[in-house]
Amino acid sequence: MNFELRAVPKPKHKRFKRTAKERGRITSEVYEAALERSGGRCERCGKCDYLQCAHLIRRWKVEVETTVNDVAMLCGPSVNTGTCHNIIDYTQAGKEWAEEYRDRLYRRAKINE
C-alpha cells in the first residue's frame, strides 16, 4: 500500500459558537456574588463546611455565559456521596431541587430589576 501525504492548510477562521466549557466557565465575579448571596453557607442544607460553586444546570445548556443565577454554593465535594453537590449532580430529587432553585433565583432577579 502506498500512502501519500496531501497537506491541507489550516482554516483561517475561528469557531463562531463558544464551546460548552467556555460558556460554563464560572468567573471570579460570579463566584464571589454566589458566595455573598449564600452568606458562607450551603444554599441547600445550611452547613458551612466545604463549599463549592455548583452549576444548577448542565454546562451545555448554558446559552451565552454562566451567571450568578445559574450556580449555587453547595457543600461538597461532588464526588462524596451525601453532599449537596453530589445530590444535585447524581439524583433525580437533587436535579429537581436545582431546577426549582434556579427558577426562584431568576424570578427574584426579575423582581429586583
Query: Which pLDDT does position 1 carry in this prediction?
Result: 67
Query: Which pLDDT does position 2 carry in this prediction?
Result: 77
Judge whether residue 9 has pLDDT over 90.
Answer: no
Query: Which pLDDT does position 90 carry in this prediction?
Result: 93
Give the number of C-alpha atoms closer than 13 A to the C-alpha of residue 40, restricted to the C-beta side.
0
Phi, psi of 42 (to 5 degrees): -65, 130
Phi, psi of 33 (to 5 degrees): -65, -40
Compute how many other C-beta atoms are within 10 angstroms of the C-beta atom of residue 18: 13
DSSP 41: S
* Higher pLDDT among residues 20 and 68, named by residue: 68
- What's the average model confidence in pLDDT over 80-94? 93
Judge whether residue 100 has pLDDT over 70.
Answer: yes
- What's the average model confidence in pLDDT over 10-20? 82
* Higher pLDDT among residues 85 and 2, named by residue: 85
Q: What is the pLDDT of residues 23-39, one digit of tens each?
A: 889 999 999 999 999 99
The bridge status of strand 51-55 relative to strand 71-75 is: antiparallel
Compute how many other C-beta atoms are within 10 angstroms of the C-beta atom of residue 20: 13
Q: Which of 71, 84, 78, 68 is nearest to 30 (CA)?
A: 68
Left (φ > 0), alpha (ψ -120 to 50) or beta: where does 39 sit? left
